[in-house]
Structure 1
């Protein structure tokens, strides 16, 4: 019996080849997102435009993701995983080179759309490709490796971005993607299994229009909420409500279309997928939303540079790096429920000290809290990523990957927006360090409260599933 379990715990070398191949390309997308985030003010100055305009460098990329993510499952079935991965990574490479050569804010925004189209395919395709290669086995162990770009991005992105902005031209924020893209394309050509012939499959055009437009509306509305007025703004409420209506219309349309829908929403009857999507959305709010507060706290309240803020955040990434391997093994052994409960609780404990922090709180104490918080990040996200695919048929994996990716993307965007609105509202009229401190403490109390909600909601997750015994 133990020999059987030992054999089942081994991962096929072909699966590891697929994992490491998509990791190399995935690093380009994750680095790009975190590096560009720290460079917006520099871009505004060098391209002679306002911060409001340069924000579209991020917003346009986000909206391109929203348009592209829903079509990934259909494209994978038509082209095959290998062709689609190489195509998407090539698009991201072209977008990166063009962005580095941009001569104005308008050209940079347009080239970021090209990047967003490539990235929008790669994000859900990464998980789908690896899960299909693994045949649904050892998902916790595999996801602990697949999550590596998400771990390294927050660790190295702000540091690399700070170094580039301090010592090099801003264009190097995009040139740094090129080696990863080129290496990823070569590895994919050599390592990924050959696709079958290109298939003819009708595209659910109405479903694509409804879902893409709905996601764009939601993401656009959320991105506008960071401005003065928050969620009460017309340019927030209108696209947000319209987006939600369109997504509801898509769900109704998809239920009629069944398996021929752009994304088969009937998969949400599978409780592991439905529950993991709910918690991935909440984890985006709880865990990743607070990531926006942390660099702001160090820069605005403590007066650090972008580079120093990035260095101070490294312990959080190291905590995630340290916990991901054991989280993957425990996920395969004990299931998701109690592991995710523990992860949210650890994240809560790591966030709580910031609800009491001021401009003079000991930095070593805060970095220790960030390390603990990072452990919580790894313990929450890895079993949730694996859970959504437990017991899933191979043909359904692309749609399951799209659903979990959308939950994570929208949750992260919504969480960041909510916490920024809370911070901005509390900081109105703040004319002293004490009042600004109070504003940050309020925002971190909300982040801590969201983590507490995660602890409670995680109790609805399934425990150890029968499929894991096989």
Structure 2
């Protein structure tokens, strides 16, 4: 096993070696496909409306169905990774995801597309938690910050690259290619996974928590279905929202009681919350995702609706955010492993808050250099926020608990993301409804027929009202973001204990 004495291995163990980088390349390919498919479809919704003669509320389910499937399959992933092995399950998830992508490209109506998106989500939902598990086990807890920085690249690029890629493929070829693009990428990822991922060492003796699955997976799906329906029905008081979310919440609460009583292999190990760092990281992550990811979807909407940009241009205007994140993420990964995540996350949140503050004052003619500069500053903050928070949770977990820990963090993020998206959508919708000219003016941006029907001066006034609605919504996001500083203050501010000091923990991680 590993000994602390030889200087060579000790020094090498602190670096990301070639073997870990090869594994990282496989994981990043899978993560890019999974995350891009959440965002790439967002710019295709108007095309789906025309192609399938459907309403916006109906085609929006091509996105919602995918995220619901993600939330449903993630709870099972931790157990399945232990039971069947991460490599085998990762390859299965890739095959399912790519196969479903081909089916999506062949959809003949909106219902079939929504159904195939569910299949795609089942595959995509396993890729991220499995990728985190594989990377953490390969690198060991003392290098989690750096490997999380590598895995964070697709998490940052997805929201920026998705709209750009989707807009370009739709304009240059056809909507079918936003799904078919996964086939060549998936083939490369599949080949790399077979060749490069370490051999499995599954634990066949572990029992499966069927009661937990019957409570949690449908509970999450129903709760998120109810929450996701709020923007469509326009009110929380709708029977569809209350009944679905209510039943889902009851099932989730039932699961919590069940999991706390069950000592041997619950579906999600809630006893992990005894780990102080993980608990603080979960609270911080939840608040951050609700605030920032919810608002993040509004940036392209502002450029499309208020500024009248094309889908491709709107995607390109978000590029400064991705550039900022790419600059700081590798630095943040290095510093997390040296000084702990606490100070880095506080600095990252502060930068995001500064950038978001500019958008709270946004108008219909705010200068682009100011907006793009603010997005760049937010990107700098993003690079020092999301993955360091994940690192705070993951670096204190043992080899046996890392699969369950990554599953837990992914569920929390998925639920928080859905809540954030629904919250910001409802706030924006209500703000637009309170301003009677905002809706017609934004609709007229891409419709000369509607623009011709507006009275003189109505267009300018309506766009100004729409900008005010966006500004108010960004203010709500900023307040939530500032509140996230409270739990972030308690994140660890020291380097994690090195496993080489007599602990044997890194050895099984490296051998797995």
> Is this a same-fold pair by TM over 0.5?
yes
In the other structure, the counterpart of 1:124 is 129
TM superposition outliers: structure 1 runs of 4+ over 6 Å: 1-5
Confirm or deny that 1:54 pairs with 2:84: no
Larger mean CA deviation between 416-425 and 11-20 belongs to 11-20
Q: CA deviation at 1:326?
A: 0.7
Larger mean CA deviation between 231-240 and 143-152 belongs to 231-240
CA shift in 2, pair 1:2/1:295, >3 Å:
farther
The residue correspondences of 1:174-193 to structure 2 (distance < 5 A) are 174-193=179-198
Q: TM-score, normalised by structure 1?
A: 0.96
In the other structure, the counterpart of 2:215 is 210
The residue correspondences of 1:38-437 to structure 2 (distance < 5 A) are 38-196=43-201, 199=204, 201-430=206-435, 431=437, 432-437=462-467
Q: CA deviation at 1:243?
A: 1.9
Q: TM-score, normalised by structure 2?
A: 0.88
Question: What is the distance in 1 between the residues matched to 2:171 and 2:358?
Answer: 31
Which consecutive residues of structure 1, in runs of 5 or more, have no partner in the other structure? none
Question: What is the distance in 1 between the residues matched to 2:395 and 2:200?
Answer: 25
Q: CA deviation at 1:2?
A: 13
Larger mean CA deviation between 443-452 and 49-58 belongs to 49-58
CA shift in 2, pair 1:346/1:467, >3 Å:
same
Q: CA deviation at 1:120?
A: 1.2
In the other structure, the counterpart of 2:480 is 450
Question: What is the distance in 1 between the residues matched to 2:27 and 2:499?
Answer: 28
Aligned residues: 470
Q: CA deviation at 1:165?
A: 1.7
Contact 2:337–2:495 (CA<8 Å) still a contact in 1?
no
> Highest Rg: 1 or 2?
2
CA shift in 2, pair 1:260/1:163, >3 Å:
same
Question: What is the distance in 1 between the residues matched to 2:379 and 2:493?
Answer: 24
Contact 2:283–2:487 (CA<8 Å) still a contact in 1?
no
Q: CA deviation at 1:450?
A: 1.4
Question: What is the distance in 1 between the residues matched to 2:202 and 2:327?
Answer: 42
Question: What is the distance in 2 between the residues matched to 1:197 and 1:385?
Answer: 25
- Matched residue SS, 2:476: helix
Which consecutive residues of structure 2, in runs of 5 or more, have no partner in the other structure? 438-461, 501-512
Q: CA deviation at 1:371?
A: 0.3
Q: CA deviation at 1:343?
A: 0.9
Question: What is the distance in 2 between the residues matched to 1:333 and 1:8?
Answer: 14
Q: Let me know the Cα RMSD of the aligned residues.
A: 1.8
Q: CA deviation at 1:135?
A: 2.2
Q: CA deviation at 1:70?
A: 0.5
In the other structure, the counterpart of 1:35 is 40
Deviations 1:125-146 (A, max 9, x none): 1101111111222111111111
Confirm or deny that 1:438 pairs with 2:468: yes
CA shift in 2, pair 1:364/1:396, >3 Å:
same
